[in-house]
């Protein structure tokens, strides 16, 4: 299933920038960074639980915001993109 992960952190702060880098590193193992703090990951239920647990250890729950959106298997028709960084098929990434 496709899991959209959005992460809000104050990147004026060096520690915040570090957390964003760490979040991105974990997410791109399973998908792609589609915007600065938006990641699309292809995960099964077990991978999703593991990634969620990792991200929760990285984030600062008192200052950051982390949201997960579960788009299911038929996500291709549920996404539209405009502007720079054109849309991609996350399945292509995993097949490499």
Which residues are paired to 51 by β-bridges? Answer: none
Contacts of 52 (CB under 8 A, 6+ apart): 68
Q: Does 6 help bind a second copy (rule: CB under 8 A)?
A: yes
Per-residue x/- track, 17-36, a second copy (CB under 8 A): -----------------xxx
Are 16 and 74 in contact by the 8 Å Cβ rule? The answer is no
Helix axis angle for 45-58 and 14-28, nearest 10°, is 170
The count of chain residues that interact with a second copy, using the rule CB under 8 A, is: 35
Q: Which residues pair with 39 in a beta bridge?
A: 5, 33
Q: How far is the CB of 96 from a second copy (least distance, A)?
A: 23
Q: Which of 80, 92, 95, 96 binds a second copy (CB under 8 A)?
A: 80
Nearer to a second copy, 29 or 65 (CB): 65
> Cβ of residue 58: shortest distance to a second copy, in angstroms?
11
């Amino acid at each position: 299933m496709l899991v959209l992960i959005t992460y809000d952190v104050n990147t004026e702060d060096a520690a915040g920038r570090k957390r964003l880098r760490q979040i991105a590193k974990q997410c791109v193992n399973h998908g792609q960074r589609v915007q600065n703090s938006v990641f699309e990951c292809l995960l099964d239920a077990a991978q999703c639980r593991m990634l969620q647990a990792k991200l929760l250890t990285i984030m600062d729950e008192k200052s950051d915001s982390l949201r997960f959106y579960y788009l299911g298997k038929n996500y291709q028709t549920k996404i539209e993109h405009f502007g720079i960084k054109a849309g991609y098929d996350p399945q292509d990434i995993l097949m490499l």
